[in-house]
Structure formats: structure tokens, C-alpha cells
Amino acid sequence: MSSQMEDGEPISHGKAQSPSNSVSSYSSENDVTHQKIFRCPLADDHIKKIREERAQRRQSRRNSLISQGKDPDFPTPDLQFIERPFLHVYREVSQDSKTSGMQVPPSSLDVQIMTYNTLAQTLIRRDFFPQSGSALKWHKRSKVLVHELKTYKPDIVSLQEVDYNELGFWHENFHKLGFGSTFRRHEGKTHGLMVAWNNEKFQQDNEWMLDYDTILAGNAISARTRTKNIALIVSLSVKNMTNLSTSGVIVANTHLFWHPFGVFERLRQSFLVLKKIEEIKTCPKYYGWHSLLMGDFNTEPEEPPYMAITRRPLTLTGSARAMTECSLAYRYSKMRNGEESDQDEECDEESTGEGQHDQPQNPKPKYFVATKEQKNLVNQLVALHNSLHVKGISLYGLSYGKVHPDNSKENHGEPELSNWANTWCGLLDYIFYIERNDNVSSSKDEPVKNFEDQNNVKIIGYLRMPRAEEMPKHSQPFEGEYASDHISLMCQLRLFWQ
């Protein structure tokens, strides 16, 4: 009987016994190279005992890792990540109307909402990530990304830069987590957007995709260049509610144009996705549904696209106006417009120049002398934003300062960063709650309470975001730290339906 192997460990058979009638292959008594060896088979009960002992040792190792706060399925250091705590706004949240500050509707649901740019593998070039080493390898990064989802347990997930070639991986792993998922991409792109949801809480109702390049803003303003950016919008009905027709969440996921001189185009794209959400919300079927817009907006809080989402009325003056008008003066290359190439890489062009002369060199000038045509285009787009009946409330910007005041900037309340790359660090990712524009706060002294009362929402807490001083000097991803150059955001809400 040949020796047996389990879990990489050989089962010992004891000493080999050579019976007296054994025959050598050669007549020489000293040559035992080809001597036949007869082994005694193990009894079934002995094999069973060995297996039980090994199972106990494996379980002991798992229990030890669990007691240390580690995931036993990811025990090796290179598959770990920096785990961040969840910060509660309210330690105990009661559905009693006195505690919540609102009249409690008959149905509610606690929902954890995450947005995450996972870094498309097709965009990785070693010169962009010189310090990341083996952390860039997909067979490692993919396990860390799943590890992170398992740890934080979101209910709704919006992912950006999901590789089309790895779509099977994502659907399979979301299925294992008990999630449904959907994916869309521009036909000229190797990566796209994904929305996933907890099947115990939600079921998909409908979905829409916006191709920003093909839609005119206000039936008049076309795309400045071919961006291949899209938005994916999914309507999710809530399971186990008394009235399913009025209980649901509209989830919009987007990734806006990345270019340093793309401010006007990002402003245009933000209008298009808000306009589509407004159209969906005006449909009688979706009356009373909550609405979210999240993703990678490639814009900072002080820049016009963020302002256009969160402010009504929108006015652009000073440096914000100069930045927008300057972006209109920038001329994109023929390569980007698809006349000579079909490239699909961010940073596939120099941020300035692109083979043109007299290009603006600074994407964020304090002053800019604009032409009449440029001024008129900006005025038209501002007017379109002000015609909308919806606006966004940044959930982190609203009350993250309550749980992490040292990492909440005074002028807008947002944390310092969500991106830690080799060439740039800052805040690019957001979770916006979309409310009707006529929800005007009655008191500026209690913005959080007003928001909750007007939208039938309770903010439970946030996933902690790191400060710049806590981050390492090297960029991300990095083994044992983060699996992407972006850092996920997650907010827990208690949603009420009337």
C-alpha cells in the first residue's frame, strides 16, 4: 500500500518490515537499491484518529487568529490591510421619536453604504507605483479587497475601476458574500462601474447607464473631448417591507473625467447624472425612495464640480470661475478624441501641451482672461445646474466632524484624503445623499437635525478616514496597508419610509 498524504503532512506507517521470503532484484546481498519493501496498511480507526487530531489543530489555529481580531482565512501579513474602526455618531440609536427627533414612519432599515475605487489592473504601470512591489499583483490585491469587504460588511457597494477581465472574480465573490451585482462600462474601456447589494435586504428593480460623451447637457452643450466616462444607476427595492412599492433606494455610481484641465467637463458630467436622478425621482413609482450618488469625482471640495452638486443656487466667482474658464481654453489632442488612437489609460497624455502651442499651463489659476464664448458657456452650464430640483448633501461633509473633529476641515467638513498616490494625495471620493432642492433648512444652527428630519434619515456613523500625518511616506497600494491607491468610504444610515 502506498503512503498517504493529507493537508501536506504524510501519515506515518511505522517501521517497514521485511519478511524472510523477500526477494532482491539482484543476487548480491549488499545491493538493496531495488529491494521490495512491504508495508503494513493502517487501520481505518487509526487514520480517522489522525484526521480528527489535525482538524482540531486547524480549528485551534483559526480560534487563535480570531481571538487576535484577525480573519483566519487571510492569516499571512501580505494579505492583511490597515483596519479602520467604525465611528458612531450615536452610541444608542432608538426608533423612539423623542430620540430620533422625527416622527417615526412604520418601516425603517439600517444600511451601510460604501464607495471604493479599487484601482483597475489595466491602468497599473510600474512607474506610477514605484514603491508598491508585489502588492500590485492581482492575485494578492484581489484577496485583500475581498478581505476588506468581508471585514466592513457593507450593504450597498459602489466600485469604480473594475476590470472587465476580472468580472467573473467580482460576481463570484459577491455571490459568496450573499450579494447581487451589476456591471457597466463604456465599450471603449477595459474597466467600468459595479454596484452590489445585500440580497437579504434588497432586490434589483431597474438600472440605467449614462454615456456622458453622447448626451448633450440642456440639449446644447456637448462633451469637450472623448472621455469614455459613464454613470451606472440602480434602483433597489427593500425586501420584507409592508409596502414594497414605496420602499427603495436609488443608487448612482460614477467616475468623472480625470484630466487636470477637465473642470468644465466634470461640471457638465455632474449635471447629467443629477438630471437623470431627478428624472427617475419624478417617476411616480419612485416617490418616497431614498437617493444616493457616490463614486470617484476627481474633484476636491473647493472646486466647481463639488460646488455644483452641493450648492443651490450655484455661483462661480474668483478662482472657481477662473478654473472653469481656463479649462475651456485647453485643447485636447487628436489621440484623445479618437482620431488617431483608442487608448484607455488615465494619464495617457501630458497634463500640459499635448502637442499644441499656447496651451494654458496651470489648471488652477487665480485669474484668467476668458473669451466671450467661454464666459457664455460657463454661464449656460451654471444656469442648467440652477434649473435642477435636486442637490447633493455630502454625508461625510455633513457630520463626520462629530466623530473625528481633527480630520474634518472647517470650511466644508470633509476629511483630508481618500487618495494616496505617488504623484498626488487628497480627497476625490464622496457619498452624496440626493435631496429635493426645495428642502431648505429652517435653521443653520442644526444642519444635521434638519437634514435628518426633512429626508427621513438618521446618520448612525462612519468608517474612519486616515489623516495625512498617519499615512506612510510611500504611496499605495502597499502590502499590509491598503490594496488600492484610493481608500474606501462607508457611512451607515437608518432609512425611514412613509
Give the end-to-end CA distance of the chain in Å, rounded to a whole number: 72
Question: How far apart are alpha carbons 195 and 173 in whole angstroms?
Answer: 13
Q: Average pLDDT over the chain, rounded to whole?
A: 86
Indicate the SS3 state at residue 45.
Answer: helix
Cα 412 to Cα 431: distance, rounded to the nearest angstrom: 14
Could you read off the pLDDT of 130-187 as tens digits, one per residue?
999 999 999 999 999 999 999 999 999 999 999 999 999 999 999 999 999 999 999 9
What is the number of other CB atoms lying within 10 angstroms of the CB of residue 52? 10
pLDDT at residue number 132: 95
> Does 231 score more than 60 pLDDT?
yes
Contact at 8 Å (CB) between 293 and 434? yes
Q: Residue 79: what pLDDT?
A: 82
| Phi, psi for residue 354 in degrees, rounded to 5 | 50, 35
Q: Quick one: pLDDT at residue 38?
A: 60
- According to the CATH classification, is domain 77-337+358-497 in 3.90.180.10? no
Q: Which of 67-71, 98-102, 162-166, 439-443 has the lowest mean pLDDT?
A: 98-102
Checking if the pLDDT of 257 tops 70, the result is yes
- Spatial separation of the C-alpha atoms in residues 128 and 258, rounded to whole Å: 15
Q: What is the pLDDT of residue 17?
A: 46
Query: Could you tell me which of 300, 206, 221, 316 has the C-alpha nearest to residue 265?
Result: 221
Q: What is the pLDDT of residues 309-331, one digit of tens each?
A: 999 999 999 999 999 999 999 99
Domain boundaries, the chain: 5-67, 77-337+358-497
Mean pLDDT of all residues in 221-243? 92
For residue range 428-477, list pLDDT tens digits in order: 999 999 999 875 554 567 899 999 999 999 999 999 999 999 999 999 99
Question: What is the pLDDT at residue 235?
Answer: 98
* pLDDT the model gives residue 7: 43
188 within 8 A of 228, measured Cβ to Cβ:
yes
Look at residue 99 and tell me whether its pLDDT is greater than 70: no
Query: How far, in Å, CA of 417 to CA of 411, rounded?
Result: 15
Strand, helix or coil for residue 9: strand
Strands laid side by side in the 156-163 sheet: 86-88, 457-463, 489-497, 107-117, 156-163, 191-198, 179-184
Rounded distance between C-alpha atoms, residue 364 and residue 426, angstroms: 15
d(CA 304, CA 311): 10
Q: What is the model's pLDDT at position 58?
A: 82
pLDDT digits (tens, 9 = 90+) for 336-375: 654 333 344 554 444 444 545 689 999 999 999 999 999 9
pLDDT digits (tens, 9 = 90+) for 266-295: 999 999 999 999 999 999 999 999 999 999
50 — pLDDT class (breaks 50, 70, 90): confident
Q: Which of 251, 247, 289, 300 is nearest to 273 (CA)?
A: 251
- Name the grid cell of 345: 489609460
DSSP 223-260: -SS----EEEEEEEEETT-S-GGG-EEEEEEEE----T
Q: Looking at residue 101, what is its pLDDT?
A: 46
Q: Read off the pLDDT of residues 202-230 as tens digits, 9 standing for 90 and up.
A: 999 999 999 999 999 999 999 999 999 99
Is pTM beyond 0.85? Reply is no
CA angle at residue 94 from 89 to 100, to 5 degrees? 70
Per-residue pLDDT band for 34 (boundaries 50, 70, 90) equals low
Cβ within 8 Å of residue 288, ≥6 positions away: 246, 247, 497, 498
